[in-house]
Structure 1
Amino acid sequence: MAPTVLELHDDGARHIGHAGAASGGGHYLLTIVSERFAGQSRVARHRMVYDALGEMMRREIHALAIDARTPTEHP
């Protein structure tokens, strides 16, 4: 996706004891800025991220909050 900004924060500490945390899946907050999001809906942007992560979304990642923007939308 050639991001100009890519920030990933582990939010797992806030979910200790949660079923997803117990099974090893992490909780993350992702901020990603890419020109490739231009003209795409919020849902389409999220699908692009999910597709890029592939199997990680089914194994290593239990929950992912996504903030996907274009460079002109990013503060």
Structure 2
Amino acid sequence: MSTRDDIINKLHEAFLPESLEVHDESHLHEGHAGHRPGGETHFRVYIVSRAFEGKSRIERHRMINAALAQELADRVHALAIHAQAPGERPR
């Protein structure tokens, strides 16, 4: 299973999102720190979940980082997070 698939599965389990997109942006970071041949090192996540209602941006990021702790420790060098509660406008 790919790192992207692992991220998707863990975020689905943890947050039951209304919408979720996970983009592998590793190709944009070739030659930079943390990049490995084959990619799967730099990701961008767009997630909408009721779990984020009433939570600050920092709290949302901490929740996602905790859910993906294993991936962040082993395989993922960078993770950009866009987390919203349903009905919120994108920031």
TM over 0.5: yes
Greater length-normalized contact order (CA 8 Å, ≥ 6 residues apart) = 1
Q: Structure 2: give runs of 5+ residues left out of the alignment.
A: 1-14
- Among 24, 48, 57, the alignment partner of 2:63 is 48
Q: Structure 1: give runs of 5+ residues left out of the alignment.
A: none
Bigger share in helix: 2
User: Distance in 1 between the 2:65 and 2:16 partners?
Assistant: 15
Please report the TM-score for the alignment, with normalisation by the length of structure 1: 0.90
Q: How many residues align?
A: 75
Please identify, of 18-27 and 32-41, the stretch whose mean Cα deviation from structure 2 is larger: 18-27
Please provide the CA RMSD for this pair: 1.7
User: Distance in 2 between the 1:30 and 1:36 partners?
Assistant: 15
Do structure 1's residue 28 and structure 2's residue 49 form an aligned pair?
no
- Among 9, 17, 37, the alignment partner of 2:31 is 17
Runs of 4+ off more than 3 Å = 22-25
Once the two structures are aligned, what percentage of the paired residues are identical?
45
